[in-house]
Structure 1
Amino acid sequence: MILVTGASGHLGSSIIQHLLKKIPANQIIALVRNEAKATMFKEAGVIIRMGDYHNPASLATAFVDVHKAVLVSSSDFNDRFGQHKNVIDAAKAAGVSHFTYTGISLKNVNTSVLKHFTEDHFQTEDYLKESGMAYTFMRHNLYAEMIPLYIGRQVLDKGIVFPAGEGRVPFALRDEMGEANANVLISEGHENKSYNIANDVNYSFQDMADILSELAKKKIIYTNPNQDSYIDSLKASGLPEHMAQIASGFSIAMRDGDFDLPGNDLKNLLGRKPTDLKVYLQQNFYSERRK
C-alpha cells in the first residue's frame, strides 16, 4: 500500500493521478483533511483516510498497512516542521518502511535570503534521517506554473517586469514532478537517496522575454526594477504587504542564483526529457491570447 499526503492539493493529486496509471486504485491511500475534496479519487477506487498534520491523534491510524508513503510538504507555515514531525512519527509508529519527502532544491539554505522560509524543509530531512525509516528526498526546484504569479498575464502587452536580474532557474512542470514522485513510489532502488527535481536546462527572465518575442513575433521587453519599486507595485495592485515581501524574497533568491541547479534527476526518473519552457510559455501565454 502507498499513502500520499496532501492528496487534494496540486502536487498530491498529480502524484495520485500518475499512480493510478501504474497500479490498482485499491493499493493507493489518499490522506486528506476534507473528504469532500477527495470525491474524484474515491470514485476511482482510491482508499480515503482522514488526517491533519497539526493533530497527531488524527494520524495515528492513517498509516496502518502502509508500506511506502510520500509526505507532500505543508503549505501552512504555522510550525511547518512540527507538522511534518507529526506525520513522520505516525508513519514510523505504524511500521512504514520507506518514506519520501517533497522538499526544496536550494544551493545553500544558510546563505539564502529565503532561509527563514525554507529551512524547515531541511529540518524535516534531518528528522527523517534520524527516524530509521528508509528515506528519499525529492528536492523540488521552482514550478513553471508559478511563472504567471511572478510576471503577470499581460506580458505580451506590458513586457516582463521582475527583479531577478540575470538569475537563472531550471523551471519544470509540477505535473512532471508529480509523475517523477509516482515513479519513485512504484519502483525500487531509491532508498536513502536525494534527487534534485529540476529541468536539465536553466532559464533567465530575459530568456522568457526572448521566447515570447519569438512566439508573438514582436519585441517583449524584460525590465529588472529595484526591489522597492517592485514591492510598491505589488501593494498598489492589492497584494498584502507580507505577500509582496515573500514575492520579493523569491526574486532576490533567483537573482542570487539560489535555484540555479539544473540536473538530470528529473529526466532520469521520467525516462524522457522534461518539457521545455518554450512549450509551457506557448501554451499558457501565447495560445491563451490567440483564443
Structure 2
Amino acid sequence: MIAVTGANGQLGQLVINELLKRTSKENIIALVRNPENAGTFSEQGIQVRHADYNRTDTLKSALKGVEKLLLISGSEIGQRTAQHKAVISAAKQAGVALLAYTSLLNTDTSSMLLSAEHKETEAAIRASGLPAVILRNGWYNENYTGNLDAVLANKAVVGAGGKGKITPAARLDYAEAAAVVLTSESSHAGKVYELAGDHAFTQADYATEIANQTKQDIAYKVLNKTDYQGLLVQIGLPEGFAQMLADSDAQMIKGDLFDDSHTLSQLIGRPTTSIKTSIKQALTRA
C-alpha cells in the first residue's frame, strides 16, 4: 500500500493522479486532515484515512498496513519540524518500508530561512533509521504564474532576486517524480534527489517572457530584501510570511534555487515544463 500525506493539497492531488497511472486504486491511500473534503478520492475508489500532523492519535491508525509513505512537507511554517517528526515516529512504529519526503532544493547548503525546518526533518529521518528517499523539490513555476494577474495589472514583475538564476519546474513535474519513486521496482532508499527544472531563468527573463506573450510592456523592478519585504507586508501578507518570501528571493542571488543536474527530467523520462509553457497555460486559463 502507498500512502500520501496532505493528499487534499495541490501537490498531493497531483501525486494521487500520477499514482493512478502506475498502480491500482486499491493500492493507494489518501491521508488527509479533513476527510469530509476528500469526496473526490472516495468517488475514485481510493481509500481515505484521517491523518492530522497535529494529532498523533490519528497517525497510528492512518499508517496501518502502509508499505510506502510520501510525507509531503506541511504548510504551517514554524510548526513543521514537530509535525514531521510525529509522522516519522508513526511510520517507524508502523514498519513503513520506504519513506519519501518532499524537502527543498539544496537544503544541506542553502542559507534560505525556508531550509531550516527541512534540514531538521531530514536529520530526524536519518536518526529514525527508516529506509528513506529525500526529494528535494525546487521552486514551482506556479509560484510565479499564480501571481500573473497582479503582474499584468501593474505592468511589472517585482522581486529581490537580482540577476540570480533559478530552475523551477511545474508542480506536476515534481508530482510525477514522486509517483515514479513510489512505484519503482528498484529501491530508492538512501537516495537524495536534487529536483529542479531543465530551464534556468532570472526574474528579468520572466518579465521579458510575459511581455513577449502578451505584447505588453512588462518591467522588472528589483528591490533589496528589506524593501521587498515591506512591499509584501503593504499588500497584505503577514510579516513572517513576507520575511520568508523576501529572504527566498534574495537567496536566489547565491544560487540556492539553482540546479543543473537534470535529475528531475531523468526521473520522469521527459523534459520538465518550461516557464514559457507555464505562462502560456496560465494566460489561457485567465
Given the two structures, how large is their TM-score scaled by the length of structure 2? 0.92
Aligned equivalent of 2:169: 172
Q: Which residue, 124, 133, 136 being the options, matches 2:133?
A: 136
Q: Which amino acid aligns with 2:91?
A: A
Given that 1:161 and 1:223 are in contact with CA atoms closer than 8 Å, whether structure 2 keeps it comes out as yes
Given that 2:70 and 2:99 are in contact with CA atoms closer than 8 Å, whether structure 1 keeps it comes out as yes
Given that 1:156 and 1:216 are in contact with CA atoms closer than 8 Å, whether structure 2 keeps it comes out as no
SS at match of 2:248: helix
More deviation in 127-136 or 151-160? 151-160
Given that 2:196 and 2:258 are in contact with CA atoms closer than 8 Å, whether structure 1 keeps it comes out as no
Kindly report which structure 2 residues correspond to 1:1-291, keeping only aligned pairs within 5 A, or say none. 1-106=1-106, 108-109=108-109, 112=111, 114-115=112-113, 117-148=114-145, 153-155=150-152, 158-187=155-184, 188-285=186-283, 287=284
Cα deviations by residue, 1:214-272 (Å, 9 ceiling, x for unpaired): 22334422121233433333333233333322221121112332111232111011110
Cα deviations by residue, 1:70-123 (Å, 9 ceiling, x for unpaired): 1001112243111111111111111111111111013655x61x23x3212122
Structure 1: tracts of 5 or more residues without a match = none
Cα deviations by residue, 1:32-83 (Å, 9 ceiling, x for unpaired): 1111121101111111111211222221121111111110011122431111
Given the two structures, how large is their TM-score scaled by the length of structure 1? 0.91
Give 1:154 deviation, angstroms.
Answer: 3.0
SS at match of 1:203: coil
Cα deviations by residue, 1:143-197 (Å, 9 ceiling, x for unpaired): 1111146676333751212121001110110111111101110002312101111
Cα deviations by residue, 1:118-155 (Å, 9 ceiling, x for unpaired): 21212211221222221110000011111146676333
SS at match of 1:260: coil
* Percent identity over paired residues: 34
In structure 2, relative to structure 1, the CA distance for the partners of 1:57 and 1:32 (3 Å cut) is same
More deviation in 73-82 or 169-178? 73-82
How far, CA to CA, are the matches of 1:153 and 1:207 in structure 2?
17
How far, CA to CA, are the matches of 1:240 and 1:119 in structure 2?
19
Structure 2: tracts of 5 or more residues without a match = none
How far, CA to CA, are the matches of 1:80 and 1:169 in structure 2?
25
Q: Which amino acid aligns with 2:38?
A: A
More deviation in 252-261 or 83-92? 252-261
CA RMSD of aligned residues (A): 2.0
